[in-house]
Structure 1
Amino acid sequence: MNAIETTLATTNKAFIAYMMGNQTLVKDYQTLVAQGATIVEIGVPFTDPVADGPVIQAAGLKALRAGVTLQGLLTTIGTITAKPAPIVLMTYLNPLFAIGYESFAQQCQRNGVSGVIVPDMPFEESHQLRQLLEAHDVLLITLVTATSTGERLTQMLKKARGFIYAVTVKGVTGERRAFNPAIYDFLAELRTKTTVPVMAGFGIASTEQVKALLPHCDGVIVGSRIVDLLEAGESAPIGSLIQATKQ
């Protein structure tokens, strides 16, 4: 089993913490682990992050100005000797094209990356990358939205491994005050169609939202709020968010 699958097999409700890949990567990863994150998702800074809202966009641009690259991030991740929380990279396609799929898969395995999310890669075009990654014990995480339906959704769920990233809002990442009540039905329905853990992500920012979503899914993914808190050096509120999944 891949490290993600092994971890989630013994986790009741998971908390996946997103952080931007930047010059404080090692320190931020260790902070998230210390606060109890189940899995850490590391964003690769990119100039046109179509799935990201203003908080993550700003963090990505700051990292780019500091000279952070996908190649550099892979090397830095490799220096983390203990990885109690499996690492998932969130990247866009262009950086992968620059490195090449095969080289990227090899470097992920060598440096201890367990999964990859590519939000601008259509499912229908993911076969080659998925095969190359899995050959190196790295999983390509499947993203689904409420508009993913019918036979296409069936095929997506068949290929899914690790966890399913269920997008809870229309639009980009970023904190939301409330969710459309229909999202709870969407999450619950997904769980009836797959044995792969379903993680709810996008827009989650408070312990109240975490607790409201948890009965309908297997865990949550929190991004913009975590990025803000890491930037401010505030670890205690991160711990409070994570503890909401354990209560």
Structure 2
Amino acid sequence: MKHSAEAIRRELDNGNAALIAYLPLGYPTVDKSIEAAKVLVENGVDIFELGFPYSDPGMDGPVIERAVVRALENGTHLEDLFRAVGEIYGAGAPALSMTYWNPVHWYGVERFAQEFSASGGAGLITPDLPPEEAGPWMAASDENDLERVFLAAPSSSDERLALISQATNSWVYAASTMGVTGQRSVVDSAARDLVRRCREAGAPLVCVGLGVSTGEQAREIAEYADGVIVGSAFVKLLGNEDWDRALADAGALARELKEGTRNTK
């Protein structure tokens, strides 16, 4: 299946939440990031989210930020993104890209949508594109059968959540931060509340990223969200200079996380 919403609903029908993995394209190299993505899919990841590196990111934490710098130094291009989503889709998982809007705008919105869809890409997560300014992308994504995923934050008003929920044609990314151990219960409560508010606002599906790194944490989020998004934990493992060990550890973590999302519905 090409679309991530289909994969999420398949997992929900089976009593599970979906496991969504994030990696920045081009880290540690383009080919290795694609290889790592395939390993994660083989080990239980349901949906893949490729971050396209950008020189002025607004929401990346330090682990991902360092990886993005490396990807930029490697000269990662949009053509690499088209190839990557096609290979990941061919490996059996819908492939989204999280990208800041400027690269898409620079390439040409309609041209990008056509080539991304033709490559097998599912759609985009656009952290810095508000729905009010997304008219060209909404038209191009509808024309080319691509998913639109917008972000919601605990600080978002009910009116804004309604706007976000109406603009998406797939799922809403409920963004938050795990924080240190002593703050986790507070953050988790905020994430639960945000998921509830998104659903009340009309979101078709809601997935949560909370700095998850263990199967137990994945299970806690899977109990109230439709999907669990994991990024930094995978990126950290891929920093190992022993690449075979890095892939083995990433695969093991994917299996643990997927087990955490099973039988939670």
Structure 2 counterpart of 1:17: 21
Answer with 153-162 or 188-197: which moved more: 188-197
Q: CA deviation at 1:159?
A: 2.1
What CA distance in whole angstroms lies between the structure 1 residues aligned with 2:238 and 2:202? 34
Structure 1 residue identity aligned to 2:19: F
Structure 2 counterpart of 1:237: 253
Question: SS of 2:11's equivalent?
Answer: coil
Q: Verify the 8 A CA contact 2:192 2:224 in the aligned structure 1.
A: yes
Instruction: Give the counterpart of 1:211 among 190, 213, 219.
Output: 219
- 1:31-110 aligned at under 5 Å gives the runs 31-79=39-87, 82-110=90-118
What CA distance in whole angstroms lies between the structure 1 residues aligned with 2:143 and 2:78? 21
What CA distance in whole angstroms lies between the structure 1 residues aligned with 2:200 and 2:225? 11
User: Relative to structure 1, is the Cα distance of residues 175 and 242 closer, same or farther in structure 2, using a 3 angstrom cutoff?
Assistant: farther
Q: CA deviation at 1:32?
A: 1.1
What CA distance in whole angstroms lies between the structure 2 residues aligned with 1:40 and 1:81? 9
Question: SS of 1:82's equivalent?
Answer: helix
Question: SS of 1:190's equivalent?
Answer: helix
What CA distance in whole angstroms lies between the structure 2 residues aligned with 1:175 and 1:18? 19
Q: Deviations over 1:82-102 (max 9, x none)?
A: 242100001112211221101
- 1:176-187 aligned at under 5 Å gives the runs 176-177=180-181, 178-179=184-185, 180=187, 181-187=189-195
Q: Verify the 8 A CA contact 1:201 1:221 in the aligned structure 2.
A: yes
Answer with 101-110 or 23-32: which moved more: 23-32
What CA distance in whole angstroms lies between the structure 2 residues aligned with 1:79 and 1:198? 26
Q: Deviations over 1:90-140 (max 9, x none)?
A: 111221122110111011111111010111112211121122012101111
What CA distance in whole angstroms lies between the structure 1 residues aligned with 2:253 and 2:73? 28
Q: CA deviation at 1:5?
A: 2.6
TM-score of the pair, normalised by structure 2 = 0.84
Q: CA deviation at 1:58?
A: 0.8
Q: Verify the 8 A CA contact 2:162 2:202 in the aligned structure 1.
A: no
Q: Is the helix fraction higher in 1 or 2? A: 2
What CA distance in whole angstroms lies between the structure 1 residues aligned with 2:219 and 2:86? 34
What CA distance in whole angstroms lies between the structure 2 residues aligned with 1:41 and 1:4? 10
User: Relative to structure 1, is the Cα distance of residues 80 and 4 closer, same or farther in structure 2, using a 3 angstrom cutoff?
Assistant: closer
Q: Verify the 8 A CA contact 2:2 2:93 in the aligned structure 1.
A: no
Q: Percent identity?
A: 31
Runs of 4+ in 1 over 6 A off after TM superposition: none
What CA distance in whole angstroms lies between the structure 1 residues aligned with 2:212 and 2:89? 30
Q: Verify the 8 A CA contact 1:191 1:217 in the aligned structure 2.
A: no
User: Relative to structure 1, is the Cα distance of residues 176 and 87 closer, same or farther in structure 2, using a 3 angstrom cutoff?
Assistant: farther
User: Relative to structure 1, is the Cα distance of residues 106 and 55 closer, same or farther in structure 2, using a 3 angstrom cutoff?
Assistant: same
Q: Verify the 8 A CA contact 1:15 1:37 in the aligned structure 2.
A: yes
Question: SS of 2:122's equivalent?
Answer: strand
- 1:220-235 aligned at under 5 Å gives the runs 220-232=228-240, 233=246, 234=249, 235=251
State yes or no: 1:7 paired with 2:15.
no
Instruction: Give the counterpart of 1:156 among 147, 164, 176.
Output: 164
Q: CA RMSD in A?
A: 2.0
Q: Verify the 8 A CA contact 2:2 2:121 in the aligned structure 1.
A: no
User: Relative to structure 1, is the Cα distance of residues 226 and 175 closer, same or farther in structure 2, using a 3 angstrom cutoff?
Assistant: farther
The number of residues matched between the two structures is: 243
TM-score of the pair, normalised by structure 1 = 0.90
State yes or no: 1:114 paired with 2:114.
no
